[in-house]
Amino acid sequence: MPASWLNRQLMFELLKKDTATEARLGLLTTAHGVIDTPVFMPVGTQASVKALDPRELDEMGTQVILGNTYHLYIRPGLDIITAGGGLHRFMNWSKPILTDSGGFQVFSLAKIRKIKAHGVEFRSHLDGSLLFLGPKESMEIQRVLGSDIAMVFDDCPPHTATAREVRAAVERTIRWAGECSVQPRAPGQLVFGIVQGGSHQALREECAKAITALGFDGYAIGGVSVGEPEPEMLQAIEYTTPLLPANQPRYAMGLGTPAQLVELVARGVDMFDCVLPTRVARNGTAFTRKGAISLKGGGYKADFGPIEEGCPCFACQRFTRAYLRHLLNVNEILGLRMLSVHNSHLFLDVMADMRGHIAAGTFAGFRREFIANYVPSRRVLAARKGVHPVDEERGEAS
Amino acid sequence: MPASWLNRQLMFELLKKDTATEARLGLLTTAHGVIDTPVFMPVGTQASVKALDPRELDEMGTQVILGNTYHLYIRPGLDIITAGGGLHRFMNWSKPILTDSGGFQVFSLAKIRKIKAHGVEFRSHLDGSLLFLGPKESMEIQRVLGSDIAMVFDDCPPHTATAREVRAAVERTIRWAGECSVQPRAPGQLVFGIVQGGSHQALREECAKAITALGFDGYAIGGVSVGEPEPEMLQAIEYTTPLLPANQPRYAMGLGTPAQLVELVARGVDMFDCVLPTRVARNGTAFTRKGAISLKGGGYKADFGPIEEGCPCFACQRFTRAYLRHLLNVNEILGLRMLSVHNSHLFLDVMADMRGHIAAGTFAGFRREFIANYVPSRRVLAARKGVHPVDEERGEAS
């Protein structure tokens, strides 16, 4: 077992555990700063959170962003990022960064692949060039990127995988996690293990046991947000969280809607990432605490209120629904920019609210009220599922 | 002759005239604020300066922006803008706005047209619906938009027009200017006349004489930036400026590159608008004081300097050429956003420099040095010409 860069008790401090739910309040210390958990991480796949600039991310209270190893490895490539002084300096982001391992993208985006003992041979989804990514390569790339939190290279099967395929993925994930755990790290870099196992409780247990035995700095639940129905996703989370060390951070990969974030925090998850806020923004959809709305709709054409009443975000403080609808309908970039600002702000704001309520001991009531007010949107859920097989902006590391 | 809303001497104050050139320093007072001239006006065709938000425009020193009557009339439509409290409130821009008259777009964008005595019947370039725009309609739309400066409805023929066609356009422009001059205005709204006449000195003279006799608050030189070679454009400006009242503002429509702005200020022009800074940004081109560069080029892939050394803009203070090149190459919106910021800032900054040098009596030297350092780009000039027949972002009022 490799030694962490500092005592694990200091790295993650569990400040409080909710009495009525599994929700937890914590502090995660990284090389680029301390993160209040539960936390939402905006996704910056290609070294940019889509449509947003670092000042906007700062202003909305972003604590940590996610970068994608697979995408950055292909473009701009490690030589450029190395010459630029690592990912933080390259993109001018001084707060923490979590990088995924590229495993998910290799299995979902790459054109042809050959799974070998120590990784995957595949062709770039861009130019077809032959590449190889395995535990060793992934950790080396993440070391060069200099992320604060690196993820192990895993095998994340789709929701349609057979039990036999999921078992093979679990075995591979465990073997590769062992290989990842002994690779060199960037100074102060944390490494998180990933638990696979799909919807199979026994496989989740087997995987969690083996992965936690390797002693990582935190643990992710992978193999969710891969096309499964919501109840199955929640079930997989419920199978897995009790198997993870209580005093270490837990990260549910690729999730979710605002209501799902609340439900997952209630189940003891501390960290989240999702492309939804920026992706649906580019489609003209705005999130509110009552659900998602499509601002392109004619019903908003003379609606001179803000996207969401009382919202302190840059967009809601300046622009009306009618104006934003106009911008969206004439394809002005400012429209999708402002929806990206509002949506990302809302996700971060809901997390801040949850932290406040866990601290105050009022989380259960907040959860009840939030879920009662929030109307899930089928369209939004479809947008999230749609990302799985081919979309470039998939932010998960699994 | 209609009375201006205030004494014309107060409305435009000529602070200084350069001794070595025709350059002028002035103050133009409008209902939404005082504008230092010479001034560059970023183009906000559809109630948004493409890719930029009002804070960014403020930070780069924008004094006045341009809106397009034709586009705003079609989308979102006057009912929405009226309900939203006028264009300033609709788009949340509290500084001055100049609106063009829609004439240029009717003659260049609209699908079918029939020129009548009191305007033009045309079909919307969007949905083919039958519309009519003339002096009366244009002024009414601009009154409802509530711009600080309205432009008269004119006939702007392309560079390929015959002398006979240009003569007809001049006659029409004069007649319509007369009709515009007696229409109701928004409170405090200024109205500028437009001089047409193409490259024909006699027609320029005839048009200038008739238009200035109508007594507008300022005068624009139209029929430039319509596909003509640069020497012809400069010649048309030189024909026209001496014919305009010295104590009123002069506006050259749709121009130009940074070097052209310097040359036009030297010829006594006070106001400019151009889509170049934001248009070429979306194409990956950055302006500098030494000319335009295409940041997509491989030569910048490991160039960790700013777009332009010493530039105080938001983009140059934060990002490197290598990072921006990466963003442009992977189609991240932040790339074109930051080039739009830098380019617009540069245009405004060159204007501020000119104002400083005119005030200090050092403009001739500045002009000489600027032109010596600036390498014109054929590609950029093509981008400007390319806008004439079909592009939606054409910002001119003529």
Write down the pLDDT at residue B384.
59
Structure tokens at B38: 């010479």
Concatenating the DSSP letter of every residue in A306-374 gives -SSTT--SHHHHH--HHHHHHHHHTT-HHHHHHHHHHHHHHHHHHHHHHHHHHHHT-HHHHHHHHHHH-
Predicted confidence (pLDDT) at residue B4 exceeds the cutoff of 90: no
- Across chain B, how many H-helices and E-strands are there? 16, 16
Predicted confidence (pLDDT) at residue A392 exceeds the cutoff of 60: no
Predicted confidence (pLDDT) at residue B395 exceeds the cutoff of 50: no
Give the residue, A8 or B51, on which the prediction is more confident. B51
Contact A333 B337 (CB under 8 A): yes
Q: Which helix (H) or strand (E) holds B11?
A: helix B8-11
Contact A322 B76 (CB under 8 A): yes
Give the residue, A164 or B395, on which the prediction is more confident. A164
Contact A92 B318 (CB under 8 A): yes
Residue pLDDT, tens place only, B131-151: 999 999 999 999 999 999 999
Cα distances (Å, whole numbers) of residue B162 to A175, B16, B104, B198, B385: 79, 39, 18, 10, 19
pLDDT tier at A384 (50, 70, 90 boundaries)? low
Q: Partners of B219 in the beta sheet?
A: B193, B250
Q: Picking from A109-118, A281-290, B43-52, B356-365, which range would have the lowest pLDDT averaged per residue?
A: A109-118
Among B residues 309-348, those touching chain A with beta carbons less than 8 Å apart = 314, 318-320, 322-323, 325-327, 329-330, 332-338
CB pairs under 8 A between A and B: 119
Residue pLDDT, tens place only, A114-130: 999 999 999 988 888 99
Residue pLDDT, tens place only, A128-164: 899 999 999 999 999 999 999 999 999 999 999 999 9
Contact B46 A332 (CB under 8 A): yes
Predicted confidence (pLDDT) at residue B297 exceeds the cutoff of 90: yes
Which amino acid is it at B274?
Answer: C
Contact A80 B53 (CB under 8 A): no
Write down the pLDDT at residue B378.
76
3-state secondary structure of B81: helix
Write down the pLDDT at residue B141.
98
Q: How far apart, in whole angstroms, are the C-alpha atoms of residue B239 and residue B225?
A: 15
| Non-local CB neighbours of B375 within 8 Å, separated by 6+ positions | B290, B291
- Residue in A339, A341, A284, A323 with CA at minimum distance from that of residue B44: A323
- Across chain A, how many H-helices and E-strands are there? 17, 16
Write down the pLDDT at residue A108.
85
Residue pLDDT, tens place only, B13-48: 999 999 999 999 999 999 999 999 999 999 999 999
Write down the pLDDT at residue A214.
98
Concatenating the DSSP letter of every residue in A373-385 gives H-B--HHHHHHHH
Which amino acid is it at B176?
Answer: W
- Whether the predicted interface score ipTM is above 0.90: yes
Q: Which helix (H) or strand (E) holds A292?
A: strand A291-294
Predicted confidence (pLDDT) at residue A6 exceeds the cutoff of 60: no
Predicted confidence (pLDDT) at residue A11 exceeds the cutoff of 80: yes
The whole-angstrom distance between B91's CA and the closest CA on chain A is: 7
Predicted confidence (pLDDT) at residue A362 exceeds the cutoff of 80: yes
**Strand ranges of the sheet holding B130-133, from the earlier edge strand across to the other edge:** B113-116, B119-123, B130-133
pLDDT cut 70: percent of chain B above it: 93
Average pLDDT over residues B369-390: 71
Q: Can A53 be counted among the known catalytic residues?
A: no
By residue count, chain A amounts to 398
Peptide bond before B38: cis, by omega within 30 degrees of 0? yes
Q: Which residue of A has its CA nearest to B315?
A: A53
Q: In whole numbers, what is the pLDDT of chain B averaged over residues?
A: 93
Asked whether the beta carbons of A42 and A344 are under 8 A apart, the reply is yes
Residue pLDDT, tens place only, A170-208: 999 999 999 999 999 999 999 999 999 999 999 999 999
Write down the pLDDT at residue A398.
25
Concatenating the DSSP letter of every residue in B202-218 gives HHHHHHHHHHHHT--SE
Average pLDDT over residues B212-216: 98
Q: How far apart, in whole angstroms, are the C-alpha atoms of residue B210 and residue B175?
A: 9
Q: In whole numbers, what is the pLDDT of chain A averaged over residues?
A: 93
Q: Extract the runs of DSSP E, i.e. beta strands, from B137-217.
A: 149-151, 190-195
Predicted confidence (pLDDT) at residue B386 exceeds the cutoff of 60: no
Cα distances (Å, whole numbers) of residue B18 to A209, B357, B379: 82, 9, 33
3-state secondary structure of B27: strand
Predicted confidence (pLDDT) at residue B3 exceeds the cutoff of 70: no
The whole-angstrom distance between B52's CA and the closest CA on chain A is: 6
Predicted confidence (pLDDT) at residue B56 exceeds the cutoff of 50: yes
Q: Quickly tell me which residue has 């608008």 as its tokens.
A: B273
Write down the pLDDT at residue A8.
53
Q: How far apart, in whole angstroms, are the C-alpha atoms of residue B268 and residue B242?
A: 9
Structure tokens at B26: 């002035």
Q: Quickly tell me which residue has 């996703």 as its tokens.
A: A233
Cα distances (Å, whole numbers) of residue B22 to A151, B25, B247, B270: 65, 10, 13, 10
Q: How far apart, in whole angstroms, are the C-alpha atoms of residue A191 and residue B338?
A: 34
Residue pLDDT, tens place only, A220-271: 999 999 999 999 999 999 999 999 999 999 999 999 999 999 999 999 999 9
Predicted confidence (pLDDT) at residue A364 exceeds the cutoff of 50: yes
Predicted confidence (pLDDT) at residue B388 exceeds the cutoff of 50: no
Residue pLDDT, tens place only, A37-76: 999 999 999 999 999 999 999 999 999 999 999 999 999 9
Write down the pLDDT at residue A177.
98
Write down the pLDDT at residue A394.
41
